[in-house]
Chain A
Amino acid sequence: MVHSDTYRCGPIEMRVATPTEALREQVGYNFNLYNVPWPETEISIRLDVTESNAPCTMLSGNYLTAQRTHVDVTGTGLAATSPSGARAVFSRKDCRWTLTVPGGPLDIWPITDMEHLLSLVVSTAWRQAGWVPVHAGAVTNGKACAILCATSGGGKTTLTAAMIRRNWKTLGDDKLLLRQRADGIMEIKALVHAFNLYPHARKWFPEVGDLEPLPRYSVWTEKRKVCIEDIWPGKTALQGSPTHLVSIFQDKTVDGIKLTPLSANDALSTLLRQTVIPTHRHTAQYLVDTIAKTANSLTGIAVRIGTDAYCSPDAMIPLENALS
């Protein structure tokens, strides 16, 4: 029996066919992550999930080389392979992906590879729709809107929570879409209104409560997924026009937080590192255009955050002042 489901991932409508309940659950788990409602569908993608134990040779990764996913450009679109044997093929003309996973019980590696392939599916679709996926957080107070940049585990979520505590709203802590509107204005939009928080964040933010009993976000992390509105009602925002770029550094030598201006080149470098740029000229051109023009329009601030910075809500006042 084939299950047919439709998901909304920001501006994308995903029409998905899965052959088993287990695969249906996996796809649903990944796509239901994008819980921010968008008013319009900008592009519709079909995804057929199938099972096969046929051997799979890793591709060269001439379009994109990720840790467990190699993606090549083909005559008709893209093809991707993973070490577990999970793979995917995209037909650009038909806007259709076929994702094949090894048959039998799903263990950790096929699940991990499937997550990465589904990430490729949505990222490709967002780019097709003219958006740039950005691995960053964002906060806004209605006037200023800051993109918060750091590597994975670098403190985007905690700083976002600290700004929420100062009455700012957030567009999300690590997944945003960015584009230049027809009138030239840069805009960012929210995709996910959930945080992945370490249980120890409670010591700084008691309002999050005891997160230990919640299931882990993934097998690779201690983080727990929490709905932002459940903890901080009214503190989410759907979109903003970015005014600042904040580059986050954790620095044990700093007391509280320390701010320094970012040069235009450092702001560019920071924002470029928050998005995946495939080795494909046409795609890369659009992404670099959008990122460079955005970075060029922002005021950049480097924020060094000491270990005690989140103990007091007032520690964020210098950052608030800089953003104002």
Chain B
Amino acid sequence: MTDTMMTLNPDVVVTVLEEGAVLLELQTKFFYSVNSTGWAIVQMFENGATVGQINAQCVAWGAPAADMEKVNAFVQAFTDDYLVISEGGPGDNSEVSFNGPWVLPVVEKHKEPLQRVMVSAFDPSLPLAE
């Protein structure tokens, strides 16, 4: 996996917040919260990055070698939920900024997805049986 180029799934929309970001996968309707370090890595996914590049960048951001296992687990969580896909050429991540301090990247998958079938175009409630 180290050399596989991964890019953010085009069905994922990302909203940046003060302390990280929120991601919504439009097909599954699951949504996720990531912390500031996680958002920095997501930006690398937006451009395209390999695990090797992510590890190197995290070290540059101040990550100790002992944290790489957790970084890779973060990446694996994205892979497992198809938030990233294996395609695209090498990305330019020189513009990705992270103003630290370094903390372990965290992704929290919210327990329940949003409704995929709802009552109406205004009411997102789960429909009752007619």
Chain A residues engaging chain B, CB cutoff 8 angstroms: 64-67, 69, 71, 115-116, 119-120, 122-124, 133, 135, 151-152, 175, 265, 268-269, 272-277, 279-281, 284-285, 288-289, 292-293, 296
Q: Hey, which chain A residues are within 8 Å of B17, CB to CB?
A: 292-293, 296
Q: Hey, which chain A residues are within 8 Å of B130, CB to CB?
A: 67
Min C-beta distance of B33 to chain A, whole Å: 6
CB-based closest 4 A-B pairs: A67-B127, A120-B121, A152-B125, A292-B15
Interface size class of B (residues with CB under 8 A): 20 to 34
Q: Are B121 and A116 neighbours in the complex by a CB distance under 8 Å?
A: yes
Main secondary structure of the interface of B (DSSP, over half): loop
Cα distance A135–B110 in the bound complex, in angstroms: 21
Cα distance A212–B108 in the bound complex, in angstroms: 48
Q: Are A288 and B33 neighbours in the complex by a CB distance under 8 Å?
A: no
Chain B residues engaging chain A, CB cutoff 8 angstroms: 10-11, 13, 15, 17-18, 22, 24, 26-27, 29, 31, 33, 108, 110-112, 114-127, 130
Q: Are A276 and B33 neighbours in the complex by a CB distance under 8 Å?
A: no
Q: A269-B110, A275-B124, A284-B24 are in contact. Are A66 and B118 (CB under 8 A)?
A: yes
Instruction: Tell me which of B119, B120, B125 has the highest count of chain A C-beta atoms within 10 A of its own C-beta.
Output: B120
Cα distance A284–B51 in the bound complex, in angstroms: 29
Q: Hey, which chain B residues are within 8 Å of A123, CB to CB?
A: 121-122
Our pick among B18, B108, B115, B122 for the contact of A133 (Cβ within 8 Å) is: B122
Q: Hey, which chain A residues are within 8 Å of B31, CB to CB?
A: 268-269, 272
Q: Are A69 and B121 neighbours in the complex by a CB distance under 8 Å?
A: yes
Cα distance A142–B54 in the bound complex, in angstroms: 49
Cα distance A152–B123 in the bound complex, in angstroms: 8
Instruction: Tell me which of B24, B115, B117, B124 has the highest count of chain A C-beta atoms within 10 A of its own C-beta.
Output: B124
Min C-beta distance of A87 to chain B, whole Å: 14
Q: Hey, which chain A residues are within 8 Å of B22, CB to CB?
A: 268, 288, 292
Min C-beta distance of B129 to chain A, whole Å: 10
Q: Hey, which chain A residues are within 8 Å of B108, CB to CB?
A: 265
Cα distance A285–B22 in the bound complex, in angstroms: 11
Cα distance A64–B31 in the bound complex, in angstroms: 17
Q: Hey, which chain A residues are within 8 Å of B119, CB to CB?
A: 66-67, 152
